Structure formats: C-alpha cells, structure tokens
Amino acid sequence: MAQLPILIVLAGGASSRMWPLREKSLLRFGTEPLLVSQLRRYESLGLQEAVIVANPGNLEDIKTLTAAIRSMNIRVVVQADAKGMGDALLQAAPALPNQPETPIYVVQVHDVVDDQLHADMLKAYAADPTGTYIAGYEREDYFPGGYLIVSPTGRITGIVEKPGAENRPSNLVNIVAHIHPDSARLFNAIQEEYAKPIASDDHYERAMDRLMTQHVFKVVPYRGPWNALKFPWHTLDVMNYYLSKISGKIVAESAFVAPSATLIGDVFIGERAKVFPGAAIVGPAYIGADTIVGNNALVRQSMVLNHCNVGYTTEVARSYVADHCDMHACRVLDSVFAPGVNFSAGCTTANLRIDRKNVKSTVKGTRLDSGRDKFGAIVGQGAFLGVDVMTMPGVKIGEAVEVGPGTHVHEDVLDRRRVYVKQEIIIVER
C-alpha cells in the first residue's frame, strides 16, 4: 500500500490584495476559521500529517489554532518573505522526515473545493505512487490562469500561464492541488531554479516544467465548485459555498425564534441567537451565536456571525458580516463587513451601477472588474459609519475609519482616516 503523502498547506504569502480585510486563512465561514475547516476535511480523507507554511503576521494565530487539532500531526513553519511558492516549499522541507522519496500533497489554504477533488487525487496516487498528479479544473469559458498541456493519455507535458482565450492548450486550468511522489527530487529542482539569474517568482512552475520532461505527470480532472480567495469580494463566493452546505432548518436549543418570525429554506441559527417578531431569515442563511435579528429585519442569502445586532427593519442581503457588527434601520447589500463595524441608521451600501455593467474596484492602484453586476462595499475592522452614510458600488473602507453623517463615499478610504462632509446651514427670515 502506498505511503500517504504529507500535506503541505501554503498559508503564507502576502495578503495585501485582500485589503481592508485581514489574514484570509483566518476568515471564519460558520463556526471555524477557513484554515481549520480545511484541515478537518483533509483529516476526514485520511491524511494524518501536515506542514503549514505561515507568514510572520499569521504565525502565532496559526500555531494557536492548530494546537487544538490533536488528531493530526501538524508542524508550522514560517516563510519570512513572500518570494513565491518555490520558496514556501523550501521552507517546509526541514519539517519533513529525513527519508528518501517522501510523498507530499501541496495545497493552498484559500482554494475551496469539494472533497471529491482530494479523494480523486489520493485515489489516483494510490493506484500508481510513482506518478506526479495535478488537479485540472475543467471549464468552457476562459480563465486568466495557468492551463495544462495534456496528451491524449492524460500525461501533462507543460503549463502555459494566461495563454489567452484563443490559445488555450486544453480546457484544464491548473489548481494548486499537486501530489509529488518524491519531495527531495522536487526541492532539488526548485533550488536549481533559484540558482539561475532570472528575476521572477515562478521557480516552482519552472521546476515542474523541467521535471515533466523526465518524469510522468498526470492530470486529475475536476468539474465541481472552485472558489479562490484572491480579492476581498471573493469572500462572498466562499461564503456561498459554505451556505450551500446548510441543509434544512438547524436551530440551536438555546436560540429564541419568535412565533411571528419567519424562517424560509435552509437556515442555521446559532446558540443563544434571538430572532424577534416580524423578522424573516431567507435561506441559505447563517445566524451566529448571540446574534440578534430585530423586529421586521430581513436577512437573506447571507452569513451573519457572532454577537451581531441586525436592528429594526435592517436588510442584509447576499452579504458576509463578521463578529460584533451593529446595524440599525439600514441596508447591507452584496457587501463584506470585517469584525466590529458600526453601520448606523439610514446607511446603505449601493450595489448596482446605473448602466448595470460589472462593478469595478481598485486593488493596489489598479481598477479591476469584480465580475459582479451587484457588489456593495468592503468595510474594514472597527470602522464606524454615521447615520445616512452611503457607499458607492465597489468602494472599500479601511480599518478604524470614521465616516461622518450624510457622507456619500465614492472612492476607497485608507485605514484610520476620518471622512466627513462640511455642511453650510443658511437660515433666513420668512
């Protein structure tokens, strides 16, 4: 029987593209952070050992979280600088057993897929432990990523990055779910690439390209859901994946749901939550522990985590709301709130362009198409938005920002800024 590969979870790298949200591996979708829920699914598939590559910013949090998972042998290493996947794997090397031909399974924490992909990968490896296996996501439309060059027998002979819609070598996109039967062979190839005077961070990809000429790489096709957390609005895609796993009405015994409140579809109500008269929860929806959904409020297709107040007549639609957020008589539409946001009475996240085209958002100075025709705001931790504030579609509000009453926010606001409108009041005698 083939030796089970050791899991290597890439959870380091830079998260600057996710601003104003913090570390994406620690985002919680339901009761557990993403990293923990990912580890539990790998454990359920039989994987017993894991090495997690963290960064200096999330190292201590990851150590604390993984210490509670005693059923797996987990080691945490740190990648001091974001130098690409090749460097991350080299940082993991010392944490692996010092033995020849140690197999590894390389994954990224922010790639959310069905268990079937991992089950198929492990099944293919068990059938032939000498091959290297790469998951290939089958899609008909063009995706700006790496495409696999695959022979009729399923052997991979190369990877082409962003070839363009007309030049795709196949319809299989490279997902970072890779099983390597000999980690030492891979690490040596990566180190040889780092020795070359090439100014890029694709050492891992170049090493694989070279190994493909000498060893057998096989594709494992996958057609299920695939959501990757690369930009802050992708939080909504991952949220929808986890909402899709709610089945039926799950209401904690300690929760209170008023007789005149309405629960429709697949709904989760957490411990000690309160849903008051006239409120409606329309699934798929998740209401966390100790959260209050006030009179005549509406929560639909959303995830509202713990200790939140969804106040009187508030609407939360298709949005992700983290812990300790307060909302009152307002509209939260297609948006993401980090912990501790205060969204005062009359506030609205505008979510639709007048021309109904896809909403764009600025990331590190570049305007990007979010791919969403409805997209509200991303609001950072501890932001306070006063009464009657309105954010335009795709706007991002930084951490600890204060937005004064009646302000219309048309562009991103950096962390720890105060934004307000100066109003001139004129009084004349009638």
- pLDDT, tens digit, 9 for 90 and up, residues 74-88: 999 999 988 889 999
Say yes or no to pLDDT of 1 above 60.
no
Q: Name the percent of the chain in helix, strand, coil, to the closest 5.
A: 20, 30, 50
Strands 156-161 and 146-150: antiparallel
Host H or E run for residue 138: strand 132-138
Say yes or no to pLDDT of 317 above 60.
yes
Q: Which residue type does 241 have?
A: Y
Task: Using pLDDT thresholds of 50, 70 and 90, give the confidence band for residue 2.
Answer: low
Structure tokens at 196: 């070359």
Mean pLDDT, residues 126-133 = 95
Nearest alpha-carbon partner for 229 in 5, 31, 8, 38 = 38
Three-class DSSP category at 312: coil
Strands 418-419 and 377-379: unpaired
pLDDT confidence of residue 343: 98
Say yes or no to pLDDT of 15 above 80.
no
Mean pLDDT, residues 233-237 = 97
Mean pLDDT, residues 63-73 = 91
What's the whole-model pTM score?
0.93
Q: Do 370 and 231 contact (CB within 8 A), yes or no?
A: yes
Query: Please, what is the average pLDDT of the chain?
Result: 94
Say yes or no to pLDDT of 197 above 90.
no
Q: Is the dihedral of CA 37, 40, 45, 50 positive or negative?
A: positive
Structure tokens at 224: 């299920």
Task: Using pLDDT thresholds of 50, 70 and 90, give the confidence band for residue 14.
Answer: low
Only one residue has tokens 């411990």, namely 271
Q: For the purposes of burial, counting CB atoms within 10 Å of the CB of 165, is it exposed (0-12), middle (13-18) or buried (19 or more)?
A: exposed
Mean pLDDT, residues 284-300 = 98
Nearest alpha-carbon partner for 324 in 335, 334, 338 = 338
Between residues 145 and 259, which one has the greater pLDDT? 259
pLDDT digits (tens, 9 = 90+) for 18-62: 999 998 999 999 999 999 999 999 999 999 999 999 999 899 999
pLDDT digits (tens, 9 = 90+) for 359-398: 999 999 999 999 999 999 999 999 999 999 999 999 999 9
Phi and psi angles of residue 308, each rounded to the nearest 5 degrees, phi first? -105, 155
